Amino acid sequence: MSKLAVPPDNEEFVLNVSYEEAMWIEKSNPGWKYLGPKFKSGQTYNYKNARLVRLGSNSLREAIQKADELGFRLLGSHAVNSFRHTYFPDANGSVVFGGPEWQSPDGEAVVSYCHGENSFWNLNVSYSGGFRGFGYNCRWAVVSKSC
């Protein structure tokens, strides 16, 4: 399957998230704890109204509040791997997936994000209290609160 272009800001798109892709942190980082949403092996979530929005936030708390004010909720960290496998990287800033679905071995909640570098997405996690290098240039993955 060939990858698609990243949707423009504020434009709806579909993202299918499989159990196998949602568990990417746990598979590559022993000791990390998955906090949810609940998945079963072989299960797929279908987000039909996902969007990328610029919230101008440097912390998860701020992002949640701003998304809520706009009628959205953050699309969680479980979706980042599906996103990077579906969309070809661009140079328009990082794409952040809220949380805190994951907890590091030291008890910190994390969010995940991907950043386009040449022809691949660089996949990372960051503590949810604040991000280095994030802010107004970051796009946050959101869905309608009704989903």
**91 within 8 A of 58, measured Cβ to Cβ:** no
**102 within 8 A of 53, measured Cβ to Cβ:** no
pLDDT confidence band for 50 (50 / 70 / 90)? very high
For 60-105, the pLDDT digits (tens) are 888 889 999 999 999 988 899 899 999 999 988 899 988 666 788 8
Please give the residue that has the higher pLDDT: either 126 or 47: 47
Nearest to 126, CA basis, from 68, 53, 46, 63: 63
Measured distance CA(81)–CA(67) in Å, rounded: 21
29 token code pair? 């980082």
Sign, CA torsion 41/42/47/51: positive
For 1-46, the pLDDT digits (tens) are 689 999 999 999 999 988 878 777 777 777 888 777 777 778 888 8
Classify domain 4-144 at the CATH topology level: Mannose-Binding Protein A; Chain A (3.10.100)
Cβ atoms within 10 Å, residue 20: 15
User: Measured in whole angstroms, how far is the alpha carbon of residue 118 from the centre of its chain?
Assistant: 20
Amino acid residing at 146: S
Amino acid residing at 147: C
Provide the β-strand partners of residue 116.
121
pLDDT confidence band for 58 (50 / 70 / 90)? confident
Q: What is the pLDDT at residue 134?
A: 62
24 token code pair? 């990417």
